Amino acid sequence: MSVNILAVGDVAGKCGLDILSRRLRTIQRLEKIRFTVVNGENAAGIGIMPQHVREILSAGADVITLGNHTWGRQEISDTLDDSPYVLRPANFAPQVPGRGLGVYETGFGEVAVINLIGRCGMDFGPESPFFEVDRLIKDSSAKIILVDFHAEATSEKLALANYLDGRVSAVWGTHTHVQTSDGRVLPRGTGYITDLGMTGPINSVIGIKTEISISMFLGNPPRRFEAAGGDGKIECAIFEIDEKTGRCLGVKTLRITD
């Protein structure tokens, strides 16, 4: 028997929250989804607020993962400590709030979800995601292990996925907000895609109002980033996982638009 796992790309602003709330359960029903992970680190534009956590979980997510904008809104700190359904990157410094690994009971056994952040091109120095994930999976009893790797460099994402091939069920990339066309099963049975894409405004620059992004690249005085509005999209991937072995049998990408 196999189960379908849904991974949803970074939710960006009110537009992303709105389309997720309206369309996620339909996707789950049509695609026979049994477990859903949503990256929500841009739900507030930059960062996420406690009310956004409630919205995303109410929309149908089982787990919310984050990334480099975890601390964009400090109001989230208590939620990170209190809720087992919100994960921040496990390779952040150990003194920060929250956790980077969650293990969840389902009708088909335990599912472990790991959130990691890359080191290439990031503005801070997290611990090595390679060493951290080794530590996290070493004693795991879960057959199905899912990894959200929030990273800038495609090479770092590919390297980590191949490093974990055969040891976890799926590795997907988040952060760049552009869905890649390389969803596949790696040689030892790990499902992979370099980036899920974005859940948010279609007419934007990775979720931000286009005029603000253009102005920045023209060298004008910086302005605070503002999330764009208008028609939305959900970009995501479905991983078909064998219940008994935890191996991935197939990967399918989706893009749902208003």
Active-site residues, by number, are 69
Instruction: Report CA 250 to chain centroid distance, whole Å.
Output: 19
Angle at which helices 154-164 and 129-138 cross, to 10°: 30
State the residue for tokens 């948010």.
200
Q: Helix, strand or coil for residue 216?
A: helix
Surface-to-core class of residue 40, CB atoms within 10 Å of its CB (0-12 exposed, 13-18 middle, 19+ buried): buried
Give the E-state strand segments of 175-231 in sequence order: 184-185, 191-193, 198-201
71 φ, ψ to 5°? -95, 15
Tokens of 117: 């952040």
Structure tokens belonging to residue 139 = 């004693």
Q: How far apart are CA 117 and CA 87, in angstroms?
A: 12
Report the C-alpha gap between 250 and 193 in whole angstroms. Answer: 11
Which CB contacts under 8 angstroms, 24+ apart, belong to 94-98?
Answer: 98/70
